[in-house]
Amino acid sequence: MWIILLLSLALQQPPRREAIVVTGSFQPVPLEEADRAIRLLEPRAEPAPLSNTLIDFLNRDSSVDLRQRAPNNLQTDLSIRGSTFGQTLVLLNGFRLNDAQSGHHNMDVPVPLEVIERIEVLKGSGSTLYGSDAVGGVIHFVAEPPEAAEMRLRTAVGSFGVNQQRASLAGAGAWWSQQLAFSRDFSSGFRDNRDYRHLSLSSLTRVRTRLGSTGVVLAHADRPFGADGFYGNFNSWERTRTWYGSVRQELGERTEIGAAFRRHTDLFVLYRDRPEVFTNRHLVESWQIAARRREDLGQNARLHYGVEALRDAVTSTNLGRHTRARAAGYAALDVRALRRFSFTVGAREEVYRSARGQFSPSASAGVWLSGHLKLRGGVSRAFRLPSFTDLYYHDPANLGSPDLRPETATGFEAGLDWNAGGVWRGEVTVFHRRETDGIDYVRASPADIWRATNFQKLRFTGLEAGVSVRAHRDHRIDFQYTGLHGAARALGGVLSKYVFNYPSHHGVAGWQGPLPGGVVARARMGALRRLGRDAYAVWDVYAARGRDRVRPYVHFTNLGAARYEEIPGVPMPGRAVVGGVEIVVFTRRGK
């Protein structure tokens, strides 16, 4: 009955201003003008502390598959539209976070949740814009200092020995803004050898001069954790650390240059109680530089072009020493008349390994059938270079192959978007991806070891559908569903480790709204069935006081105590609760 009541009040809600997104487009455009399937998530827009990690936002999209080995994003394999965890690209302010050692570390985001302004999810290929790894899609974390001077403190305790502390201090002026943030998350573990500790520090600086805007990000993250069963039947332990720095500089209104550096270390112990048996130390350093420019070609057309250079280097007791450098150039023509039509065609050439390269063209278009209905579609080519682990890793359970070929894929999609003044929204998208030389680990029997190999033909076809309504008094209801079917040429009787772990059906229902006493609440129910495995559902509820300077909150996760595994053989926690308080010490708008 409460759902019916909220829907009946929806027409009383005024239209909502469109947010601007950049992922999936060569220029910032309103979300409704995007020709690709894009989801926008806004952590800073939440009226109360209703979320704990970045995962709490990503799990609201049914096309995003979070294959977690541990809670609170200690280690999460990320997949979009049935891709493998290495086929989704993760960005921070436009720079790559994907790890050249292993895709298992792609979600080692070095900044805390408090500095993330928005999350843009591009579903489908993004290689024309971003190069390697953007096969299934792109997750773009946008970190910006707040526009107000403020200081926030937060602490919480909960199930399984959870102990959390956070702090954020920000200042803002007419031409500058600065934010310092700290986050600590500790747990003794919900079972033996599943303890963890996560420390994150960051600094964000924004300066505006006559030359243009300058943005600087500095961050560090440290994650030691018990990894029991993470990579086989071993009581393992692991510690990853990340150092990150980036700078972006506008040169007038049409040109931007930028550079980023990422250093990531991975200490892996196969047997925690016997580290002398098998211990690996990996160090990866990545450099990125880019220059981008646009030219106006009349009132409705723009030409975008740029160049990039990337270099990855690994030093490892297991993988050895290897480097990989590549350079890329791209160009795209974007033509659009707002609320009427749009068309983008682009191409990227990425060269690596003695002039060997990958060509990634794409084209997308959209047309408004009416003031509220838009038809869109696109076709694109994507690729992924093998990680250093794919090529060179070896342990008692896994073996890489230096002869692996790059993955390539061609994607097609068509969709229909409906927007009734920002109150009602609906969308449906059909997509198809054809992969060649897809990389996976296979074995002939459970007694054999996993060996990296190329699949010659993989086909994925799927449907995405969603509807949301903003009802009276800021209530919001969302429903998302993604269905997916994958097929491969005969595997010859071998078993697949990663490719065929995708969800064939995934539905997400969510509600958020105010309650009496100044309390804001959010509920999420996610139901998922992976190929060849039993379905399960996870129910989470969050509540917090959204007014005053002292804001108590409580988070209930997996209320139904579902027993489930997102990675085969790695159980996730049962029912848990975390309670705490956020204190807004001061907040003041900048001049």
DSSP letters for 89-154:
EEEETTEE---SS-GGGTT---S-GGGEEEEEEEES--HHHH-TT-SSEEEEEEE---SEEEEEEE
Strands 88-92 and 536-545: unpaired
* Sequence-ordered alpha helix ranges (H) in 116-270: 127-130
Alpha-carbon distances of 274 from 125, 237, 394, rounded to whole Å: 43, 10, 19
Residue 230 neighbours by CB under 8 Å, 6+ apart: 69, 75, 236, 238, 567, 570
The partner residues of 357 in beta bridges, in order of sequence, read: 351
Q: Which of 316, 320, 311, 266 is nearest to 285 (CA)?
A: 311
pTM summary value? 0.94
For 2-589, CATH number out of 1.20.140.10, 2.40.170.20, 3.40.50.10880, 3.40.1280.10 equals 2.40.170.20
Measured CA to CA, the distance from residue 558 to residue 323 in angstroms comes to 43
Provide the pLDDT for residue 10.
37
Strands 565-567 and 519-530: unpaired
Strands 196-208 and 536-545: unpaired
Which of helix, strand or coil describes residue 474? Answer: helix
Domain boundaries, the chain: 2-589
C-beta neighbour count of 317 within 10 angstroms: 12
pLDDT < 70 stretches in the chain: 1-19, 21, 24, 354-355, 489-493, 589-591
Structure tokens at 304: 């975008």
Please return the burial class of 561, using the count of CB atoms within 10 Å of its CB with bins 0-12, 13-18 and 19+.
exposed
Measured CA to CA, the distance from residue 236 to residue 256 in angstroms comes to 44
Is residue 86 within 8 Å of 384, Cβ to Cβ? Answer: yes
Handedness of CA 12, 14, 20, 24 (dihedral sign): positive
The dihedral formed by the CA atoms of 556, 557, 558 and 564, expressed in degrees to the nearest 10: -160
Provide the pLDDT for residue 532.
84
What's at 190, amino acid-wise?
F
Measured CA to CA, the distance from residue 397 to residue 389 in angstroms comes to 13
Please return the burial class of 133, using the count of CB atoms within 10 Å of its CB with bins 0-12, 13-18 and 19+.
buried
C-beta neighbour count of 563 within 10 angstroms: 11
Q: Which of 580, 499, 570 is nearest to 75 (CA)?
A: 570
Which of helix, strand or coil describes residue 254? Answer: coil
Provide the pLDDT for residue 492.
62
Measured CA to CA, the distance from residue 213 to residue 208 in angstroms comes to 4
Is residue 61 within 8 Å of 480, Cβ to Cβ? Answer: yes
Q: What are phi and psi of 590, to 5 degrees?
A: -75, 165
Q: What are phi and psi of 114, to 5 degrees?
A: -65, -20
Provide the pLDDT for residue 355.
60
| Residue whose entry in the numeric block shows the structure tokens 């007038």 | 252
Q: Which of 202, 192, 195, 244 is nearest to 224 (CA)?
A: 195
Q: Is 81 left (phi over 0), alpha (psi -120 to 50) or beta?
A: left
